[in-house]
Amino acid sequence: MREAHPIERTVGMEYYVSDADGVGGHLRASPEDFRVTELEAFETAPVDADTGGYPHVVMRVELRDWDTNDFASALSDRLGISRERVSWAGTKDKRAVTRQLFSVKGIDPDDLPDLDGTDIEVVGRAGRPILFGDLAGNAFEIAVRDTDAPENAAAVVAALRGFAGDAAGADSDLPDEPVTVAVPNYFGQQRFGSRRPVTHEVGLAIAREAWKEAVLAYVGNPHEREPEDTQAARAYVDDTEDWQGALERLPRALGYERSMCHTLVENGAEDPADFREAVETLPSNLQTLFVNAAQSYVFNLICSERLERGLPFDRPVEGDVVCFRDSEAPGDLPLPDTDRTQRVTEKRLRTVERHCERGRAFVTAPLVGTETELADGEPGEIEREVLDEVGIEPGDFDLPGEFDSSGTRRAVQVRTELGVQRDGDALTFEFSLPKGSYATVLLREFRKNDPET
């Protein structure tokens, strides 16, 4: 275990599991170097099904170098409809070639536009929209180029096999066949904003119902990775809270920030309700993302503390809460069923350990919400200490509208079959992950450098 890169530590990923030096290198030299294919889990009716019972057109879309939200906005604009009528199961990386399902309510498939960098295939109709989480997972093929020390990859693979419970010794060569590896199931950097990781700060302010603080965290709060004119505009907001002046300075590309400022100019920005109104001008999925990011940050901190204390991730200790495998998940992609949980007592410890060894159960940590029941023993102690550190408690998520969250639990470890191929100073990784897990969290163990490189 070694300390993580500083930008990763700001979002709660404080350690790498592997002690080996990284390979370095660059991600996304081109979009084709980062390929993501959604493992679909959404049933459709034929495209000629009755539009009354099946009003949602379902499409399989390949995107090249498109942000998911930007594509949804562009598609709705071209169709002349509200963006809220466009739905998808999971947000993908922008600088990538991605393939995933979208649904659009109440349109004629013949009206679908041609958009540069996209390939749209209508696959059917549905009686409801695709909802966030309506997928089994994602398959990845990712190239890391211009590595400094590709020979280090073998030692990282060995360490991650060990974290998965494989006692195989270190090997100086990469395995010829895919092998089982595991990493902490951290939420990746993109959950919080890759260039400017602040969404969790906004979410924590919302949980405290500090609405003005939430606005300032999003509209102000400059980051050194941003262009100088953007940093200057955000600094002006922090220094003056002059919303009209902010509109004159914020770049046009910052449409969400400008929308919030417009609202504050119009409502006078005097009361907490005015700042809440500004936050609520944002798309509903972005409002939810803020709260989710706060929950994700807390989860990451809990995982990091568990690592620091040397507690296992592949098996429980007394006091842990485990969840069982989803019986409807694909056989080669085990998914936790977070609705089926069990507290691990001293009496049940060995039995639950066997379930975990066989892939039937998973150790969890909370995504904190109003219905969260914290663990017992040392795991519970960790959860309570982290919540105290960030200054929130489960009841704080009893919030209005899109901000409310009852919470759930999430497996602390994710496993996969990993194949690695070397071609000179380039490494290609092939693997699949269950929904909600991040490819970059696996790759960070190999690269051990700035995640934006």
The helix (run of H) or strand (run of E) holding residue 408 is: strand 408-411
DSSP strand pairing (361-367 vs 321-325): antiparallel
| Residues involved in catalysis | 93
Angle at 169 between CA 164 and CA 173, to 5 degrees: 100
Amino acid letter, residue 216 = L
- In whole angstroms, how far apart are CA 62 and each of 102, 270, 429? 10, 45, 21
Do residues 131 and 144 make contact, with C-beta atoms less than 8 angstroms apart? no
Tell me the three state secondary structure of residue 59: strand
In DSSP terms, 145 is beta-bridged to: 26
Do residues 201 and 217 make contact, with C-beta atoms less than 8 angstroms apart? yes
Do residues 136 and 39 make contact, with C-beta atoms less than 8 angstroms apart? yes
Task: With CA atoms as reference, report the closest residue to 365 among 411, 324, 429.
Answer: 411
Could you say which DSSP state residue 45 is in?
Answer: B
For the chain, 453 residues long, give each residue's pLDDT as a single digit of tens: 899 999 999 999 999 999 999 999 999 999 999 999 999 989 999 999 999 999 999 999 999 999 998 999 999 999 999 999 999 998 888 889 999 999 999 999 999 999 999 999 999 999 999 998 899 999 999 999 999 999 999 999 999 999 998 866 566 688 989 999 999 999 999 889 878 899 999 999 999 999 999 999 999 999 999 999 999 999 999 999 999 999 999 999 999 999 999 999 999 999 999 999 999 999 888 899 999 999 999 999 999 999 999 999 999 999 999 999 988 777 677 888 988 999 999 999 999 999 999 989 999 999 999 999 999 999 999 999 999 999 999 999 998 888 999 999 999 999 999 999 999 999 999 999 999 899 999 999 999 999 888
Do residues 371 and 394 make contact, with C-beta atoms less than 8 angstroms apart? yes
Task: With CA atoms as reference, report the closest residue to 224 among 239, 234, 238.
Answer: 234
